[in-house]
Structure 1
Amino acid sequence: MTYYDGGTNLLPAHYLQALDESFYGLDAEEAAFYKQQTGIQDDAELKQHIMAVQAKAYSVFPYPCIRRFAFTQLKISRLFAYRGFLNLGKTRKSPIFLDIGCCFGNDIRKAVADGYPAECVIGSDLQKDFWNLGHELFRTTPETFPVPFVGGDAFNPEHLAVVPPFTPANQPTTPPPDLKSLTSLNPLRGHVSAIHASSFFHLFREDSQLHLARALAGLLSPEPGSMIFGSHASLPEKGLRVIRKDGDDKRSMFCHSPESWTELWDGVIFEKGEVKVEATLKLLQRPNILLGEDAAQTAHIMSYCITRL
């Protein structure tokens, strides 16, 4: 059995599929957002523009989420934690917001458009090419949209080292960094008010998800209300979800359940009672575009929020 493991365990060539414009479909809210952000008002022109950027991104790395236009969905603003996140941006002084696995930066741009202070925002991903394509997608430049980006491998300790979570009794001793000067995420330890991680954890094996959780927890501010939130593939009971089957060859994704996700954060990553964990599960009808006749046509998606108490 083989795992689908993000960019570290490459998909065999026969699993890769040509782009398919039938996956394109903006709802009214998404269309309005992209028209406002790009300045393109004609629906056909907007579609062609988005598809052109999609093709370039797919050549960087063929993530299934790029193939199915997941970057056009208003994912972050439809999370149950979003309103509290925006309120954090309005009420806290210098509320640093990190979007990890940010790809094009579409969730960042939605948050900024809805009022989160842009000067407090930073994006990070393995591939800077995606961030650069985000400027092309939204017709901006680093000057017109100056949110900084820090590229790097989240498993490289020089970029993101694991440290114990900070607590009210163990505050960070360094001042918050200048976000535009960052070359890694490590100077952010203990200073981040909100971390968004969607379609990120499920790219990795169970032990790698544990590592990532520990690493992100070390970035989070100990101030009550600080949060890690997002969504990813899940199951009613934790285990392996087969996402491709060809005879004896299976490709699987490890998925937490809401129960195991809660137990991980409240008691393993943080001391019991230091955080509140909320996790909801939804079953979506969605063809598995990693393909295979036996591929599931539904997907459980978990939305979650871990909040410091």
Structure 2
Amino acid sequence: MRHAAGRLFYSAWYFRSSLLFLSPLFLEPAYLYKIPATVALTLILTAISSAMSSSVATSQLDPTLYVLAEHEATFFKAQTGIEDDVALKNHIYTVQEEAYKVYPYNCIRAFNFARLKISRLPCYQQFLDLPKNRKGAIYADIGCCFGNDPRKAVVDGYPVEQVVASDLYPEFWELGHKLFKTTAETFPARFVPQDIFQLKGLTKEVTPSVPNLSQVQSLADLRGNISAIHSSAFFHLFDEEGQFEIAKIMAALLSSEPGSMIFGVHGGLPEKGIRPGSIQRSHMFCHSPESWRALWDGEIFPKGSVRVDALLHDRDRYGLNSVDSVTKTLLLVWCVTLL
């Protein structure tokens, strides 16, 4: 029941910005907070039901969007044992169809779930060095979807017994096993189904001893003990307030030891604000490099206690497809490191 409520809350956040143009009633975001909660909830539920049903029914999956870089194709062939290019494409497409029925994220429609985003990030080597220099360094991947990034990190040397992955939808993790032809035994990274907003208000209280990851039931069990948090294509699902809350939660989960890091990539803009989309796509709140640095260095963490690297890059640099031909998408590539 609690998990079902979490899914509803997630959906409400995701569709909240799209409500702005679904009806004149929502032309002002603040209006949502000035009407009775029961009325707002009814309107939100109606919009969510309509939008989700319409999206699944009318958005056609397009196999022509399937493109893998050479290193990604090599990775998938090695992990799945499928050497034939056509057979590999068909295998990935089959899993995509199942995943799109779970939730029709654009990243699934555009095959971006098959991209190895983590290894393209500038701080990737810094991340891989953590377990070499810190005993038991825990790495958490939040919003992991199928878990391709944790798998890439493990292949490149991160100890699998120190990896925990989390997503709202456990079905995606199970589909990850299908995609990569693994089981919980052959790829034993710990998976924790988690509604991130259930951790709102989490404090940075370090647990007396780090629990065995196999026993972890919530990311809250690891607060103050995670050495590296990776989160890509996740923050931009939420509005400015939601992104602020997620950043606070991640800060509470992170170890206070210098060198601990939070990093990822998501939609960005030269100046923070709303990135309008086509009629098929919800509006997206995006930070700029400047506002993202100010958020972490001064609001989330005390000023001067972290180094924040944040740059804008074109989507093509990261090999990501777009299903929105109307608006050009820039990516905010970032890393927060404790000093």
- TM-score of the superposed pair, with normalisation by structure 2: 0.82
The aligned runs of 1:162-241 (5 Å cut-off) are: 162-165=201-204, 172-241=206-275
The aligned runs of 1:6-85 (5 Å cut-off) are: 10=48, 11-15=51-55, 16-85=58-127
Match of 1:94 in 2: 136
Structure 1 173/21 Cα, relative in aligned 2: closer, same or farther at 3 Å?
closer
The CA deviation string for residues 44-74 of structure 1, in whole angstroms up to 9 with x for no partner, is 1111000000000000001000011101111
Does structure 1 residue 153 correspond to structure 2 residue 167?
Answer: no
The answer for unaligned runs of 5 or more in structure 1 is 167-171
Match of 1:282 in 2: 313
State the Cα distance separating 1:91 from its structure 2 match: 1.6
Larger deviation, residues 14-23 vs 81-90: 14-23
8 A Cα contact 2:112 2:321, kept in partner: no
8 A Cα contact 2:207 2:223, kept in partner: no
The CA deviation string for residues 28-47 of structure 1, in whole angstroms up to 9 with x for no partner, is 10110000000111111111
Q: Give secondary structure in 2 for the equivalent of 1:251.
A: coil
State the Cα distance separating 1:287 from its structure 2 match: 6.9
The aligned runs of 1:115-154 (5 Å cut-off) are: 115-154=157-196
State the Cα distance separating 1:187 from its structure 2 match: 1.1
More helix by share: 2
State the Cα distance separating 1:244 from its structure 2 match: 2.3
Distance 1:161 1:179 in 2: 22
More strand by share: 1
Q: AA paired with 2:308?
A: V
Does structure 1 residue 303 correspond to structure 2 residue 333?
Answer: yes
Q: AA paired with 1:3?
A: S
Distance 1:52 1:98 in 2: 28
Given candidates 259, 262, 271, the residue that maps to 2:293 is 262
Identity of aligned residues (%): 51
Distance 1:149 1:188 in 2: 13
Distance 2:98 2:157 in 1: 30
The CA deviation string for residues 190-219 of structure 1, in whole angstroms up to 9 with x for no partner, is 000000010000000110110000001000
Distance 2:18 2:261 in 1: 28
Distance 2:78 2:111 in 1: 18
Q: Give secondary structure in 2 for the equivalent of 1:277.
A: strand
The CA deviation string for residues 166-195 of structure 1, in whole angstroms up to 9 with x for no partner, is 7xxxxx252111111111111111000000
Structure 1 64/149 Cα, relative in aligned 2: closer, same or farther at 3 Å?
same
Distance 1:273 1:204 in 2: 27
Q: AA paired with 2:311?
A: T
State the Cα distance separating 1:14 from its structure 2 match: 4.2
Q: Give secondary structure in 2 for the equivalent of 1:193.
A: strand
Distance 1:289 1:13 in 2: 18
What's the Cα RMSD here?
A: 2.0
Distance 2:230 2:93 in 1: 26
Does structure 1 residue 243 correspond to structure 2 residue 277?
Answer: yes
Structure 1 236/144 Cα, relative in aligned 2: closer, same or farther at 3 Å?
same
Distance 1:51 1:101 in 2: 21
Structure 1 69/307 Cα, relative in aligned 2: closer, same or farther at 3 Å?
same
Q: List structure 1 segments (4+ residues) > 2 angstroms apart after TM superposition.
A: 8-16, 160-166, 283-288
Structure 1 96/2 Cα, relative in aligned 2: closer, same or farther at 3 Å?
closer
Distance 2:96 2:303 in 1: 43
Number of residue pairs matched?
Answer: 292
8 A Cα contact 1:64 1:289, kept in partner: yes
Distance 2:165 2:232 in 1: 13
The answer for unaligned runs of 5 or more in structure 2 is 1-14, 20-44
Distance 1:153 1:64 in 2: 20
